[in-house]
Amino acid sequence: MVRTSVLGAALLGAASVLAVDPPSCSLDKKCPKEMPCCSQYGQCGVGAYCLGGCDPRMSYSLDSCLPAPVCKDKVYKMDSLDRYKDISEYLGDPKTADWVGQGEPLIYQGNTLLTMPPKSVGTVLATTTYMWYGSVRARLKTSRGRGVVTAFILYSDVKDEIDFEWVGVDLGTVQTNYYFQGIPNYTNTGNISISSNSYEDFHDYEIQWTPDEIRWLVDGKVGRVKKRSETWNATANQWDFPQTPARVQISIWPGGLETNAEGTINWAGGKIDWESDEIKNYGYYFATFAEVEVKCYRTDSPPGTNKGISYYYTDYRATNDTVVDGNKSTVIKSLLATGLDPTKGDPAKASKSGSASAAESSVFAIPGGGVGIGNPVPGSSSGSDGSSGSGTGTGRSSFCDGSSFSQDCTGGSDAGENAGVRGVRSGLGASAFAVVVGIAGLLFL
């Protein structure tokens, strides 16, 4: 089974493409002060790099990343995108959005479709609030087809992870997995049989997570249990058990992309067929989400509380005894800001001071991006340009050649350059446009 750090990030940028990639970061190579935040995908920057997925262990300092909004009980009816924001539009306030993401989610018949057009790397959505234990249930239909993967996971900023994943060639099985701080352990997997076809029929998938155990349930029945007591690592003198605040992430992604590692492609059932009936009929592969429900853990003392505004870390060990449930702000004023300077680029201050437009400098503010698909949703009678159906966008061409992780296959003067990470002009006005989706962090069996 593959562990995915799950898909890339979206960019709403204005202007030129930077010729170089952002600096990389790891436990042994922290980000520089001028680009202090290490994103979920192992690159340094500011702005969106400092929000959901920012790893404080790999950043310039523990307070480079913004604190994470605490858990809230909620039933997310996936019948509207009104509470969804592209990653380029979100500044850390969970009151403004329930989901933040990249790629192309669509609404069809009262459900949210996560779509993956030809030569793209799909769509990922993440909740704007975090769970520090609790339960999360998703009602969904998976994608299908070789190399196509649907995922429903919990993923923390320090890479604790609890997974449900489906490969599109096995619609009678869901794969489960867990990781502690992203450390590969290929004995953590386990499969659960599904009573009927996961593509054709809705099923309820649930993760129940406490400080002592993880339970994976399908349609209300427990399919697997993993106890913390079974995860002691005597060498490291610690529990290799997920234990830190995590976002809910849902996604469709190309395990069978031809540029992936052979082991990943084999696990996903083979290379993706970009000329399959699914692509011919609808214009994309898709997974269907009807509802997601989060129930926060109930406790009066840590770990697992949700009494304050935000979660943050006090030590690089990043275990549950280093998490604080406190009242630090989770919001930045612009995509130039960081946890070290959350008001940098504040448009209100800039206009009052009469200072030069921040659009004069390009920075690594958002890794990746996505644009409209323009194809009919399943069952729609609209034309290929989406003009009369539920699809949105400008229509697609055959520009994409599979050599890049591009969500924008419509050509144009700079198409073909959009596989890289774009620099973001800090003005980020209405003229900005969405581009690439990236994928990173794949580990395979």
Joined together, the tokens standing for residue 66 give 């913004």
User: If you write DSSP's letter for every residue of 17-76 in order, what string do you get?
Assistant: PPSSPPPB--SSSPPPTTS-EE-TTSBEESGGGGSTT--TTTSSSTTSSPPEEPP--EEE
Catalytic hit among 104, 165, 206, 278: 165
Question: Which secondary structure element, helix H or strand E, spans residue 148, and what is its range?
Answer: strand 148-156
Beta-carbon count within 10 A of 387 CB: 11
Beta-carbon count within 10 A of 291 CB: 17
Residue count (the chain): 445
Phi, psi of 379 (to 5 degrees): 90, -10
Catalytic hit among 89, 161, 206, 278: 161
- Cα maximum dimension of the chain: 64
- 268: exposed, middle or buried (Cβ count in 10 Å: 0-12, 13-18, 19+): buried
Q: Rounded to 5 degrees, what angle do the CA atoms 42, 47, 51 make?
A: 65
Joined together, the tokens standing for residue 312 give 């943050």
- 364: exposed, middle or buried (Cβ count in 10 Å: 0-12, 13-18, 19+): buried
Phi, psi of 135 (to 5 degrees): -135, 150
User: If you write DSSP's letter for every residue of 301-353 in order, what string do you get?
Assistant: SSSS---SSEEEESSTT-SGGGEEEE------SSTT--SSSTTTT-HHHHHHH
CA distance 152 to 111: 16
165 is catalytic: yes
Preceding amide of 303 cis, omega within 30 = yes
230 is catalytic: no
Please state, in angstroms and as integers, the Cα–Cα distance from residue 232 to each residue in 91, 188, 256, 323, 402, following that order: 38, 13, 34, 20, 43
Cα atoms in the 13 Å half-sphere on the side-chain side of 111: 18
CA distance 323 to 398: 48
Q: Which residues are part of the catalytic machinery? A: 161, 165
